[in-house]
């Protein structure tokens, strides 16, 4: 049995599918920030905050990590977005010299 899809049904289906597709694209993990990236190097980014060179980066305090930085919007573990490094994910356990406390 053949069923014809009306133009209205097609429009409704596409209006639901398009935002869902965009959302799924945004939810997929971005590329991880490479610590060798020039901007990352300039800001002292490391994936493990315990490995920060305190001579080069004296501002670093023991409790500072990306996970508790105001610019980080990811989960408490793993990787997530940082507004300084658009389009890349930083490590929740990482750190850079732009670190700022969450409000
Ligand atoms: S700005 Fe904050 S979240 Fe982004 S890399 Fe630096 S410490 Fe991590």
Give me the pLDDT at residue 29, please.
76
The label of the residue with tokens 């507004």 reads 83
Q: What separation in angstroms does the CA of 86 have from each of 52, 58, 59, 101?
A: 22, 25, 23, 19
Give me the pLDDT at residue 21, please.
41
Q: Which fold has domain 30-91?
A: High-Potential Iron-Sulfur Protein; Chain A (4.10.490)
Cα–Cα distance between 60 and 45 in angstroms, integer? Answer: 11
Pick the residue whose CA is nearest to atom 5 on ligand 1: 96
How confident is the model over 58-97, as pLDDT tens digits?
Answer: 999 999 999 999 999 999 999 999 999 999 999 999 999 9
Beta strands 31-32 and 79-81 are: unpaired
- Structural domain boundaries in the chain: 30-91
Cα–Cα distance between 54 and 64 in angstroms, integer? Answer: 13
Token pair recorded at residue 13: 């289906």
How confident is the model over 10-44, as pLDDT tens digits?
Answer: 444 444 444 444 444 445 579 999 999 999 999 99
Best mutation site among 44, 61, 96 for ligand 1 pocket (most ligand atoms within 8 Å of CB): 96
């Amino acid at each position: 049995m053949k069923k014809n899809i009306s133009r209205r049904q097609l429009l409704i289906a596409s209006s639901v599918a398009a935002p869902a597709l965009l959302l799924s694209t945004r939810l997929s993990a971005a590329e991880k920030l490479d610590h060798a990236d020039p901007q990352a190097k300039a800001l002292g980014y490391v994936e493990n905050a315990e490995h920060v060179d305190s001579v080069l980066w004296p501002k670093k305090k023991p409790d500072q990590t990306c996970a508790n930085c105001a610019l980080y919007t990811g989960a408490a573990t793993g990787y997530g977005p940082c507004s300084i490094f658009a389009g890349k994910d930083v490590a929740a356990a990482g750190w850079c010299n732009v670190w700022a406390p969450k409000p």
